[in-house]
Amino acid sequence: MAGYRDKTAAAVSLLLAAVLLTACSQKKETPDAAGGPNTGAPGTASASSSVPQTAPAVFHLTPASNATEVNPVTPVKIAVTGGSLSAVSLTNFEGKQVKGTLAADKQSWSSAEVLGYDRSYRLQASAVNPAGQLTTSDSTFSTLKPANMTMPYIQTAAGGAVNPGVTFGVGQVVRVHFDEPIPDRKAAQAALSVQTVPAQVGAFSWLDDSNVYWRTKNYLKPGTKVTVTAKVYGKDFGNSLYGQADVSTWFRVGAKHVSIADNRNKMIKVYSNDKLVRTIPTSMGRDVRIPGDHGLIDLRTNSGPHVVVGGEKDIDMNSASFGLSKGENAYRTKVPVGVRISYDGEYVHWADWSVAQQGKVNVSHGCLNVSPANAYWFYDFSVPGDIVDVRNTGRTLAEWNSGYWNVSWAKWVADGAA
């Protein structure tokens, strides 16, 4: 009997062990509240669990590494995701550092100065992810090489310098002279700007492929500040002709000086801020055409608003300068003082030899003869950009000859490239 009991007890023990094993297995497979397998009591770790790895920071470059023909005015940028920048360096291959700005959140950096044409650059950066893992980036790129470059010069219409803070008259016209012909006028004009304070309507107008002029619709207001800017660097003006450097200057507008010289009465009425301040008798160009070196020469003074070029002393007046080098009408003389009003040699000037004719009859070769006293007074009164408006001579002042105000506003705008 004892052997039977022993066998029976062993069988019962095996059965209980199987039941317990089954119960434990069922409990292990019971889903938890979220629908996933229950891995045991909260706060306990499975023997098979592992700590997840933090991804390294990722760089985003502009321009891309090994890029070529990069425009030097395009900002160089580097941004990072999954981390923050710890250091950025942009240098040319001579080792010169390019200035840059790091964003407050350290997620991006941007260059803060333009680059050079036809140069190579190296961009190095490092960043750390939240786990403190360091990642680095090292890239290179090169900028474009222009086929040619052009330099803009901001000048008066007559070609004089516009020094910052200089004072001009209300009729001053500004010229931007490019030292290379411009294939794409529209692109070049888009790089130019003029600001007037107080604001006034103005526009650019081209006379040829190298010279673009700016004037207002009406005469400038006294006291106006005019700022002219040519932002040409990095701009393609056609056929890979790029701007060489940006330039800017400004000037003030002085009192309104407008003189009206009427051929009908041979008088010059001089106005300052629309108030008549002096009446000057004059003798203008004779109404004749005479033989010159290259054909007939018209001696009449040109009609229309002339933009004063400037005052001069000890002027060497030589008729050969306008094609009259010989014959009884040819001359060469020294004039003590005068004010030039056109590019082909018209002046309001000292003429002691024609005082008796001044205010009565025209005897000159085109200039406005005035007495010595009036010549000195007018010299002291005038500044470049003043207006001398000659009327009723029968001959029209050409645009190229300082006759910019003789051009209608509609034509002026139409000759622009906007």
* Catalytic residue from among 257, 306, 349, 365: 349
CA 362/CA 339 separation, integer angstroms: 19
Question: Is 15 contained in some domain?
Answer: no
- Residues 205, 169, single domain; the answer is yes
Q: Give me 416's structure tokens.
A: 């622009």
CA 369/CA 234 separation, integer angstroms: 51
Is 294 an active-site residue?
A: no
- Residues 101, 135, single domain; the answer is yes
Q: Is 243 exposed, middle or buried (0-12, 13-18, 19+ CB in 10 A)?
A: buried
Q: Give me 276's structure tokens.
A: 């008549």
According to the model, what pLDDT value does residue 42 have? 36
Question: Is 305 contained in some domain?
Answer: yes
- Residues 354, 235, single domain; the answer is no
CA 47/CA 29 separation, integer angstroms: 17
According to the model, what pLDDT value does residue 52 have? 62
Question: Is 76 contained in some domain?
Answer: yes
CA 228/CA 44 separation, integer angstroms: 75
DSSP letter (8 states) at residue 95: -
Task: Give percent helix, percent strand, percent coil of the chain, each to the nearest 5.
Answer: 15, 40, 45
CATH of the domain at 334: 2.40.440.10
C-alpha distances (whole Å) from 244 to each of 191, 212, 231, 247, 370 are 12, 17, 10, 10, 46
According to the model, what pLDDT value does residue 19 have? 33
How far is the first Cα of the chain from the last one, in angstroms, to the nearest whole number?
A: 121
Question: Is 289 contained in some domain?
Answer: yes
Side-chain-side CA neighbours of 293 within 13 Å: the count stands at 9
CATH of the domain at 97: 2.60.40.3780
Q: In terms of DSSP bridges, do strands 225-230 and 247-253 run parallel, antiparallel, or are they unpaired? A: antiparallel
Question: Is 68 contained in some domain?
Answer: yes
Contact indicator for 272, 256 with CB cutoff of 8 Å: yes
Q: What is the pLDDT along the chain (418 residues), one digit of tens a residue?
A: 444 334 333 333 433 333 333 333 333 333 333 333 333 333 333 344 455 688 999 999 999 999 999 999 999 999 999 999 999 999 999 999 999 999 999 999 999 999 999 999 999 999 999 999 999 999 999 999 999 999 999 999 999 999 999 999 999 999 999 999 999 999 999 999 999 999 999 999 999 999 999 999 999 999 999 999 999 999 999 999 999 999 999 999 999 999 999 999 999 999 999 999 999 999 999 999 999 999 999 999 999 999 999 999 999 999 998 899 999 899 999 999 999 999 999 999 999 999 999 999 999 999 999 999 999 999 999 999 999 999 999 999 999 999 999 999 999 999 999 8
Q: Which of 254, 271, 296 is the last residue of a domain?
A: 254
Residue range of the domain that includes 304: 257-409
Question: Is 82 contained in some domain?
Answer: yes
The 8 Å CB, 24+ separation contacts for 204-210 are 204/416, 204/417, 204/418, 205/407, 205/412, 205/413, 205/415, 205/416, 206/415, 206/416, 206/417, 207/399, 207/400, 207/415, 209/181, 209/182, 209/183, 209/185, 210/177, 210/178, 210/179, 210/180, 210/181, 210/182
According to the model, what pLDDT value does residue 13 have? 41
Residue 105: what are its φ and ψ, rounded to 5°?
A: -85, 0
- Residues 166, 193, single domain; the answer is yes
B/e letters for 97-110, b = 16+ CB within 10 Å, e = fewer, are: ebebebeeeeebbb
Question: Is 16 contained in some domain?
Answer: no
Q: Which of 122, 143, 164 is the last residue of a domain?
A: 143
- Residues 281, 241, single domain; the answer is no
Is 367 an active-site residue?
A: yes
Q: In terms of DSSP bridges, do strands 275-281 and 267-272 run parallel, antiparallel, or are they unpaired? A: antiparallel
Question: Is 276 contained in some domain?
Answer: yes
Cis preceding-peptide flag for 63 (omega within 30 of 0): yes
DSSP 200-243: --EEEEEEETTEEEEEESSPPPTT-EEEEEE--BT-B-STTEEE
- Residues 289, 337, single domain; the answer is yes
Count of structural domains within the chain: 3
* Catalytic residue from among 257, 306, 365, 367: 367
- Residues 166, 202, single domain; the answer is yes
According to the model, what pLDDT value does residue 50 have? 57
Chain-centroid distance of CA 110 in Å reads 22
Place of tokens 């056929």: 239
CA 212/CA 101 separation, integer angstroms: 37
DSSP H helical ranges for 345-417: 372-381, 409-414
Q: Which of 233, 254, 275 is the last residue of a domain?
A: 254
CATH of the domain at 201: 2.60.40.3710
